Structures are given as structure tokens and as C-alpha cells.
Structure 1
Amino acid sequence: MLISALILIFMILILPLETGRLLARFDRTPGRDTGMVFLAGFLFQIVLFFPVALGCMFFIRQDNFAVCTRIYLILSLIPAVAGAICRVKELKERKPEAPEKAAKPEVYSNTGEVKNGKFRDAEKMILWGAFLVILAFQLYKAVTTAFIDGDNTFYVTQSLIAQQQGVMFTNLPYTGGPTSLDMRHALAVLPLWFAYLAKISGIHATVLCKTVMPLFLIPLTYLVFFEIAKILYPEENNNIPFFLCIVAIFEMFGSVSIYTAERFFLTRTWQGKAMLGSVVIPVIILGLLLLAKSYGEKEGAGVKTAWYLIVSTGILSGICTSLGAAYSAGLVATGCFILAICKKKPGIFVTGLLACIPQVLYMAAYVLLK
């Protein structure tokens, strides 16, 4: 069990982080933090699974999931190893820092906040503590509470069939019997990605989806909102933890019906529809905010990262659920249209339409295959 846990940590934490370090070399925006680097690497890793899974699904008949697992494992390791090598070279080439000067005495503002320091203010620490308590409670309930959900018959079972029988969408999840390729769900390969993680780590797919993945996907969602808060509140103050507390409270008490994004976020965390609402759409909003910021005071800084987030999440939306491609394309087109008007740069809207090409191709393929 310990070895399985370490393998899973390596697959969903270390590989995305090192991949993100490689991607960060293409957009050296000052102030890039580890959270954004990890997010970029995670998107790359999961989007990379899409063409591999489709290729094996349509062109390989026997044991196609086993072939998909081997190919994707090799391809996912290549950018991560390259990122680790680049990181080692950067550390070796980094010049030794000058000896630190004596620390300046802390200067307090009229509000009592310590200047030239991070999180030293008591109010800020209380807010961060409150958020962490709420997050810990959500993780505890997500792991220990079982929710009745009919969709599990399909999503989790497809992951389990892929892990144990080595086939992709060619067995009925309700009976286990063989059938033709399920074209309706074939393009939404997120259950197969979970099956890949289960296969590599040796963890049962049901346990992985319903117990382990919430421990990763829920903090990932708050990481996205943390990056959004940093753009909305660039000054270092109490607004960021307060913003996260508000978001966490809305997530806890937003289950006013069985169809809200908040309910999916906490009760169906591992499903594609849940990831669409809790990860994909917030990342698109993050990309649009970063794009607006890049055309502000420091024009050009962060443009590549913004478009990367927008395009990669457009692909991820289709991986999560078929309708996600249409939703993400509409959001990107609308956001870029508003930015083009506000910034008086028509090129933003044109580029935004080009960024929606993956979703258009996805929807065309869905219609033709179905």
C-alpha cells in the first residue's frame, strides 16, 4: 500500500511539477510561482493522454488499454525528465547570492499590518487558519462519506473495466458484457485516465476514484482560485485568504439542488462533469484574467501562459464531458470578445476564435462518430 501511494504521488504531483518547470522556460514571466507551474504541468499531462487514448481506442483491437498505458507512461516521463534536467542546470548555473544584510526593523502601518513581511499579521493568519480548517473538513467528509449517485454505475465501472479487463468503452458497464465501441462517451476519456493511474499504482479503480482522487482534485480547485485571487488582489493583504474562505463556504453550502457545481464538486469529485465545473471553467477564467492583466501595465508579460491555459483547458473540457467542449468554447469566445472591446485590441478576439479550434474539431468528431 505504501508503494502504491508513493507511485501515485509521483504520477499526480511530481510529474506535473517537473513538466511545468519545462513549460515555464517558454514564458519567463517574473513572479511565476510553483502553483502556476504545477497547474501548467498538470494540464499538459492530462491533455497528452487524450490523443494517446483515442489512437489506441480506434486503431488497436486487443488489449488496447494496456498498449495505451505503456505509450502514455513513456510520453509522460519525457517532459518531466527534461524539466528536471533543466531545473538541475539552472541550480548549477545560478550565481551565489550576496550575503544578506541585517534585517530591517519591522515597520507597522496604521492598520497594524507588518510591512515587508508575509502573513505576519494576526488577522491574516486567522483567515488562513479558517480556510485550512474548512478545507480539512471538506477533505475529511469527501473521504468518509458515501454519496448515492447513479452515475457511478457508468463512470467508475468504466475505469474498473479498463483496469481489470484492458479494454476501453467496449464493455457494457451495467452487465460487463462485450459490445461495440460506445461512440457517445468514447471522446470523454477521463475515466480512462483514472484507470491509468489505478493500473500504474496498483490501487483499485473504485478506491482511487471515490477515496483518493478527492484528496487531489479538491485542493487543485482551491489552487486555481488562489491563482485567481492573486490577480484580483495583487497587493499583499488579507483579501486572498478571505476570498478563499468565501469560496470554500459557497462550495459547502451551494448544494441547493443535485445539479449545482458545488454539489458535484464535493459529492462527485471524480466525474467529468464535476471537473468541468470545478477545474476547467475556473482555469479558463484564470486564463482570461491573466490575459487582461498581460495587456495592462506590463504588456506582453504572461501572454503565452494565458493562451496556454485557455487552449489546454479547451481540450480538457472535452476530455471531461462531451458538452464541455461547447461550454468552454462559448466562454472563451465571449471573454475574448469583451477583452477585445475593453482593451481596444481586435486581435484578442481573433486569437480567441483560433483558440477554440480544438473544441470545434471535437464537436465535429462527436457528431460524425455518433
Structure 2
Amino acid sequence: MWAVFQIITVPLILLKVSFLVDVVVYSMFLIGIIVYGIVKKTYCSMTIPKVEPSAWVGIIVMLATGIYMIVQSFRLQLTNADDTRFVVNAVDTVRTNRMLLTDVNTGKEILSWTGDLFKDVISPWAVFAAYLSKITGISAASMMHTFLPPVLLAVMMCIFWLVAGELFDKHIYRALFVILLLVMYMYGYFSIYNAETFTIIRLWQGKATMAAVGIPALLYAFLRLYRLLPDDRRWKEKTVYNAEQKGAICMVWLTVFAVALLTSMSYILSTVMIGCFGFVYGIAKKSLRTAIMVWGTCLVNIAYLGISTLLH
């Protein structure tokens, strides 16, 4: 969802197209995907997994801890000077149908981007919040401060569970892993700038979403790809991917696009992770092709950073 929005929206922002065009194009794509999934029956039915009785205790505690964290985050959402960038950009986009073409300090329309807007053009998280506001009728400020944080925290917990699934076989260990992470997040307020604090009090900001959702999602994509690749191949053997492995590689590419939407910091953070994991894949899996496929995702970051540089 984020990856497609990033791919569609950035060119439209550069062309200075009306926000309504972005809303229509992206909504049509979502409707098309839903219809295709229903017709082709590519969806999966949700079922309760079979787990050992003792694991249910851990899962219940995990869910209770997660709900408590969401309630506390709902009470502690921060409103400060950063609203003049992120929230004002979203509110202005809905109000004027201009995407990032308003000076947030004066409220006047601008013909070209200046200052922090150079970063927002290639990471239009505020425009995504404006899109959610537009289709739901909820004000952009309420969307970012009230509705998005609980949803994003729930998404973060789901990603933690997926990561745990790559690390542990038993559900009780997965639940304990997620509980440990949630406790660390809830009691990690040792600085106003660390990831735990940002997650609890200002998850509506793109950089906080990157720390809470983006980096764990990248980690899961890399771990899943690592698990699916064979361990017993030799350097001279030709690397051939099956359908599941190709899907895992596509997931890595889409995740890089998705985190690019959140913040311009993602271009540095994801590149570091890509470089490290690509090196590990190449050595551990004895596959230069796989390493190149992973490193190739850096082209996404290079392209967007190049656009931002040219705009300057």
C-alpha cells in the first residue's frame, strides 16, 4: 500500500498535479487490486492457528500488553512545533488540493520547493495522511494525532510477530519475544530522541513510523528471504529462484519503496541495511546473483535522492 502510493504520488508532486488526481489514481488502483483478488481468489481465509495450550497464556499476555501500550500512546500523543511541518502540510493539502506547494510559515502558495520541502517531495508522508483524511472525512490533524498512532502500533506488533516467526518455531517463544520488545518500548524513555520515545508519543511523524514499522518490516523481509534461499549450494552452481523466492525478492523491493514514503532518513538507513544483508547473503548463500539482487534495491534510494538533488 505504501509502496504503490510512493510510486504514484512522487511523479504527480513533481508535475505539480492537483491532489484530487492523486486521490483518484490511487483509489482506482486499490479498487482494481481488490476486484482482481476477488475474481482470481488470491485472498487467504483467516483461521485460528493450532497452538499448544500453554502458548495461549503467552499470547493473551502479549495482546493485553499491546492494548495497554496503545492506550498509553493514545494518552501521550505529543503536539509541538513539528506540527507546523507534518500536520500543516497534510491539512493544507486537503484544504487547497495542492501537494506541498504552500509555505507552512506564511500560508502562501509557492511556485518551487524550498527548505525541508525538498525532503518531503521524495518522502510525502504528509500527503498520505491527507489521502486518508480525504477518503474518510476525518480532519488531517485528527487523523495524524488520534487515528493513525493506534493503527500503526497494531501494525508494528504484527510485524514483531512475523519477525518472531522467522526466529522461533514455538508460539510461546514468539509471544515472549514480542512481549519483551513491547516492554522495552514502553519503558525506553531515556531520551526524547530515541526510537521508543518517538514510537509512544509521536508516531504520526514519518521518522517515528520508520523506526517503529519501517525498519522491522525491512528486517522481516530480509530474514524471510534468507530462510527461503538454500544453504547447500556451491559457488559454481547457477542461481535459480522458485516462485516463493521470487516473491520474497519482490517483497524486499516493495518494502524499500514503502519506507521511502515515510522519511528521507529512510534512504540512508535502508541503504545501510541493504548493504549489510546483501554482503551476508552473498557469502552465506554462496550466490553473487542474490547479493546483486539485494544491492540493486539501492537503485530506488539513489533515484529519489538524485531527484531531490536536481530540485536543489
- TM-score, normalised via structure 1 length: 0.75
Say whether residues 1:261 and 2:215 are aligned partners.
no
1:190 counterpart residue number? 125
- TM-score, normalised via structure 2 length: 0.88
Deviation at 1:90, TM superposition (A): 9.5
2:288 counterpart residue number? 346
| Alignment gaps of 5+ in structure 2 | 233-240
Give the counterpart of 2:19 among 65, 71, 74.
Answer: 65
Give the counterpart of 1:334 among 254, 258, 276.
Answer: 276
Cα distance in 2 between the residues matched to 1:67 and 1:323: 27
Contact 1:290 1:303 in 2 (8 A): no
Contact 1:273 1:321 in 2 (8 A): yes
More deviation, 49-58/67-76: 49-58
2:63 counterpart residue number? 132
Give the counterpart of 2:176 among 228, 232, 242.
Answer: 242
1:344 aligned counterpart, secondary structure: coil
The AA in structure 2 aligned to 1:54 is V
1:159 counterpart residue number? 90
Deviation at 1:86, TM superposition (A): 1.4
Say whether residues 1:203 and 2:171 are aligned partners.
no
1:222 counterpart residue number? 157
1:183 aligned counterpart, secondary structure: helix
Contact 1:337 1:348 in 2 (8 A): no
Cα distance in 2 between the residues matched to 1:57 and 1:333: 30
Percent identity, aligned pairs only, is: 22
The AA in structure 2 aligned to 1:264 is F
2:33 counterpart residue number? 79
Give the counterpart of 1:121 among 50, 53, 63.
Answer: 53
* RMSD of aligned residue pairs (Cα, Å): 2.2
Deviation at 1:340, TM superposition (A): 1.4
2:228 counterpart residue number? 294
1:29-54 CA distance string (max 9 Å, x none) = xxxxxxxxxxxxxxxx2222223322
Q: Which has the higher contact order (CA 8 A, sep 6+)?
A: 2
With over 3 angstroms needed to count, the CA separation of the structure-2 counterparts of 1:286 and 1:90, relative to structure 1, is closer
Superposed counterparts of 1:32-47, under 5 Å: 45-47=1-3
Deviation at 1:301, TM superposition (A): 6.7
Aligned pairs, number: 297
1:150 counterpart residue number? 81
1:320 aligned counterpart, secondary structure: coil
| Alignment gaps of 5+ in structure 1 | 1-44, 92-116
2:103 counterpart residue number? 172
Contact 1:310 1:332 in 2 (8 A): no
